Amino acid sequence: MSDAWRLAVGTLTALPVRSPGRVDPTVAGRAMLLAPLAVLPLGALVTAVLLLGDLAGLPPLAVAFVAVGALAAGSRALHWDGLSDVADGLTASYDAARSLAVMKSGTSGPAGVVATVVVLGIQVAALAALGTSTRGALLAGLLVCLSRCALWIACCSRVPAARTDGLGLVYTRTVPLPLAVLGGLLLSVAGGVAVVLLVRRTVARFGGVTGDVLGASIEVALAVTLLGWSWV
C-alpha cells in the first residue's frame, strides 16, 4: 500500500515523496483508488484560499482565480495540459494515429486553448459562488478531492489504452467496474455522466484512453461538479 500511496501523491500532487519501490498495474490501480485521499492537501488549500479571501473582503471572482491557480500549481498543471491536448486531438483529425501524434506534440492549438478557457471559466465562476460562505468553501475543497474519482471511470477495466506506451498505459484497466460506477456516483450524476461521455468519445476516436485523457477527466469532472453544487 505504501507504493500505491507514493504513486498517488507523486503523480497527482507537487508534494515531494519518495519514488515507489515498484509500479505495476496492481499498484497503479490502488493508487487511482487512493486519488481522492492523496489530494486532500489540495482540497484544503482551495478551502483556505476561499475562506481567507472572504475574510479579507476580497472580490469573490478574484479569489476564485487565485484558488484555481493554487490548485493548478499544486498538481503541476498536468491535468490542464491533458485537457488541452485532448481537445486538440479530438479536433485535429478523424484518424486515430494523427490525433495521438498531435496530442503528443506538446503544443496547444486553438481547440486546446478554448477548452482550457471554458473549463477554467466554469471552475472560477462556480468557486466564486461557493466561496462566499464557510459551508461553500468547505464543500469546494471536498469536491476537489471527489473530482479525482474521475480516474476510477477513466481507468475502468472496460476501458482500453490508446497506446502501447506512454504514461497512461500502466493505469488503464486497473479499476474494477463496480468501483468505477461508485466513482461516478460520488461525482454526482452530472459529473459522472460528463466523464463517461468524455471517455466514450476518446475511446471512439483514439481507440482508448491516454494519460492526457485521465487529466482531462479530472478537470471536466471538477468543473461540472462545482457548477452543479454552486446552485445548491
Give buried/exposed letters for 214-224 (b at 16+ CB in 10 A, else e): bbbbbbbbbbb
Beta strands (DSSP E) in 102-192 are none
Which residue(s) pair with 156 in the sheet? 175
Instruction: Report, in angstroms and rounded to the nearest whole number, the Rg of the chain calculated over CA atoms.
Output: 17
Q: Which three cell numbers mark 34?
A: 487512493
Contact 175, 157 (CB under 8 A): yes
Instruction: Give pLDDT, residue 232.
Output: 66
pLDDT one-digit tens code per residue, 187-231: 988 999 999 999 999 999 999 999 999 999 999 999 999 999 998
Q: Which three cell numbers mark 117?
A: 478557457
pLDDT one-digit tens code per residue, 40-69: 999 999 999 999 999 999 999 999 999 999
What is residue 18's DSSP assignment? P
Instruction: Give pLDDT, residue 1.
Output: 63
CA atoms of 77 and 110, how far apart (whole Å): 19
**Whose grid coordinates read 475511446?**
203
pLDDT one-digit tens code per residue, 131-179: 999 999 999 999 999 999 999 999 999 999 998 887 778 999 999 999 9
If DSSP codes are grouped into helix, strand and coil, which group holds residue 176?
Answer: coil
